[in-house]
């Protein structure tokens, strides 16, 4: 069994940077710290054994053979299969912490399956929900549109992104977000790839688009800076774990 154990935004790894596994947990877990058990754990077949998901009230600090690592940074440490599975487990922890009681009758919610709960009183069933967001690479000739949001914790620049609203398609969301954040119109919206984004429960859907019209006017409430950049003057790029980085690198690799 593998043990995906979290404390706030950190995951517990061995000192060698691996997910703990074995017949027993690497630390003593209190009953209320155990969240759920996944029997078919790996979405890619990399690990076929069971997985125990747990959430600690305090980080592990007194074990030289163990370390707490921010989940995002574990991307650079763990194999791809383990990182993706860690994201799924982190989302289940978030789901568990935010679904203690039924939203219909206030009854206690208990696990019904590995990934769903049911109210003991009225029988309402509940599954983890995903917050779907788009992210789009907009290009104009040999330039790419890059922006810096107020929420960014460092100096990197990214791409226009935003959450999908009720009643709109993904493509409509791309057009709306670009217009709201930059006052630009785009065309040729095309799907690129998607990425689970467990911070805390997102799905990023990547697109590419071509500039159509308009003058750049940044939405100051969300963006602190932005502009058109060529390959020889790009700003600081996003982390390699993000689909934004993949979108930008794909553009860089293309011949103009």
* 109-123 pLDDT, tens digit each: 999 999 999 999 999
| Ramachandran angles phi, psi of 58, nearest 5° | -145, 145
* 58-78 pLDDT, tens digit each: 999 999 999 999 999 999 999
pLDDT at 47: 61
Does residue 43 carry a pLDDT above 60? Answer: no
CATH 3.90.79.10 for the 131-253 domain, yes or no: yes
Tokens of 14: 């061995």
Grade residue 238 by pLDDT with cuts at 50, 70 and 90. very high
* 141-183 pLDDT, tens digit each: 999 999 999 999 899 999 999 999 999 999 999 999 999 999 9
pLDDT at 64: 97
d(CA 214, CA 34) in angstroms, rounded, equals 53
d(CA 90, CA 78) in angstroms, rounded, equals 15
State the average pLDDT over residues 93-97: 97
pLDDT at 153: 86
The domain locations on the chain are 2-98, 100-129, 131-253
d(CA 47, CA 79) in angstroms, rounded, equals 11
Query: Helices then strands (H, E): number in the chain?
Result: 3, 14
Query: What is the chain's mean pLDDT, rounded?
Result: 94
pLDDT at 39: 85
d(CA 20, CA 6) in angstroms, rounded, equals 12
State the average pLDDT over residues 46-61: 87
227 HSE (CA, 13 A, CB side):
6
State the average pLDDT over residues 37-57: 78
d(CA 115, CA 37) in angstroms, rounded, equals 9
CATH 3.90.79 for the 2-98 domain, yes or no: yes
Q: Which residue has the tokens 């058990």?
A: 37
Residues 6+ apart with CB under 8 A from 211: 138, 139, 140, 145, 184, 185, 186
Domains 2-98 and 131-253 agree in fold: yes
């Amino acid at each position: 069994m593998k043990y995906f154990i979290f404390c706030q935004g950190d995951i517990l790894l061995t000192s060698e940077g691996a997910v703990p596994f074995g017949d027993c947990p690497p630390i003593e877990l209190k009953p209320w710290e155990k969240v759920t058990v996944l029997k078919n754990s790996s979405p890619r077949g990399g690990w076929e054994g069971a997985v125990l998901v747990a959430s600690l009230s305090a980080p592990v600090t007194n074990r030289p053979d163990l370390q707490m690592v921010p989940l995002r940074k574990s991307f650079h440490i763990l194999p791809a299969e383990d990182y993706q599975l860690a994201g799924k487990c982190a989302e289940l922890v978030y789901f568990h912490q935010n679904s203690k009681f039924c939203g219909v009758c206030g009854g206690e919610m208990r696990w019904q399956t590995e990934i769903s709960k049911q109210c003991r009183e009225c029988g309402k069933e509940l599954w983890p929900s995903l917050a779907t967001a788009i992210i789009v690479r907009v290009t104009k000739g040999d330039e790419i549109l890059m922006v810096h949001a107020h929420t960014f914790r460092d100096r990197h620049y990214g791409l226009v992104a935003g959450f999908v609203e009720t009643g709109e398609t993904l493509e409509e969301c791309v057009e709306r977000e670009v217009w709201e954040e930059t006052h630009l119109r785009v065309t040729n919206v095309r799907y690129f790839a998607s990425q689970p984004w467990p911070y805390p429960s997102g799905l990023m859907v990547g697109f590419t688009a071509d500039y159509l019209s308009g003058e750049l006017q940044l939405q100051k409430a969300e963006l602190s800076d932005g502009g058109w950049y060529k390959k020889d003057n790009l700003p600081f790029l996003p982390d390699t774990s993000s689909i934004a980085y993949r979108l930008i690198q794909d553009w860089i690799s293309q011949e103009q």
